[in-house]
Amino acid sequence: MVQSPNFTAQDAVQFGTITLVSGFIMRILVVNPNSTASMTKKIGECAADFASAGTEIKVVNPAEAPVSIEGYYDEAMCLSGLLGEIRKGEAQGYDGFVIACFDDTGLGACREVASGPVLGICEAGMHAASMISTGFSVVTTLPRSVPIIEDLALLYGMDRRCRKVRAADIPVLALEDANGNARELVRAEVLRAVEEDGSEAILLGCAGMADLTNWLTRETGVPVIDGVVAAVRMIEALVGAGLKTSKVGGYASPRSK
């Protein structure tokens, strides 16, 4: 329920202040496609920290899904749970949707189901990185995630700006263990990326790394980007501009058969 498209600039001028606009609440549904509640909570905290006043963020994960998504098989196994959450959100009238998995799992299918804009954190993060640097590197979890992300860079036309996709060689769930050394291994790989790739920005290649951005930016001196925050802010921009997913062609609603 967004009224901004009906609220013209003339109205704003007539009422003299834009604050009237704050009357409407933009609702964004963020879906963590794995079933690990601690990661969903972390994603929610980061999204809420950066969401604008007047934006309501809800973060969910499917009950039935792999505990983490590492590779093509897990991606396939989490799809029905993900689509179920998007369908519920569409029925509840959410204005925009974020897929909080760096493989942008099921993005096209989710865009068919949703009327509001849907962004994956990889696509959003890559576009953000390309706007603040001439070249960036991605640091993800396991080596098996690297080819998936390299393919996404090609798909998004980011293969020239994405200098390298690296793995810190840690399982996704190691990021949930505060006593482990996963953060240190990510930090070391980020420093290597700056050193060896000549990258001017770093994109964190897992939603589970969302809480590391400020610390790593201080540690490395280069902008370290989290896709969850980039996606939430971009959804706000798209919805605020009155834009919805096109229902002509590729993202048309699924046909009933």
- Closer residue to ligand 5HY in complex, CB, 81/208: 208
Residue from 207, 222, 224, 229 touching ligand 5HY (CB under 6 A): that is 207
Please count the CA atoms within 13 angstroms of the CA of 46 that sit on its side-chain side.
26
Look up residue 165 and give its DSSP letter.
E
Sheet-wide strand order for 136-140: 162-167, 136-140, 201-204, 224-226
Would you count residue 189 as binding ligand 5HY (CB under 6 A)?
Answer: no
- Closer residue to ligand 5HY in complex, CB, 95/103: 103
Distances (CA, A) of 165 to 80, 145, 180, 193, 241: 28, 9, 23, 9, 32
- Closer residue to ligand 5HY in complex, CB, 30/206: 206
Would you count residue 103 as binding ligand 5HY (CB under 6 A)?
Answer: yes
- Closer residue to ligand 5HY in complex, CB, 141/213: 141
Q: Segment 108-137, which members bind ligand 5HY (CB under 6 A)?
A: none
Q: What is the DSSP string of 93-141?
A: T-SEEEE-STT-TTHHHHHHH-SS-EEEHHHHHHHHHHHH-S-EEEEES
Look up residue 224 and give its DSSP letter.
E
Query: Does an H or E element contain 250, and which?
Result: none
Q: Cβ 14 to ligand 5HY, closest distance in Å?
A: 45
- Closer residue to ligand 5HY in complex, CB, 31/101: 101
Would you count residue 104 as binding ligand 5HY (CB under 6 A)?
Answer: no
Q: Cβ 172 to ligand 5HY, closest distance in Å?
A: 5
Look up residue 50 and give its DSSP letter.
H
* Closest among 95, 100, 96 to 122, alpha carbons compared: 100
Residue from 40, 46, 60, 70 touching ligand 5HY (CB under 6 A): that is 70
Q: Cβ 230 to ligand 5HY, closest distance in Å?
A: 13
Would you count residue 34 as binding ligand 5HY (CB under 6 A)?
Answer: yes
Q: Please report, as ranges, the residues that interact with ligand 5HY according to CB under 6 A.
A: 34, 68-70, 101-103, 140-141, 145, 172, 206-208
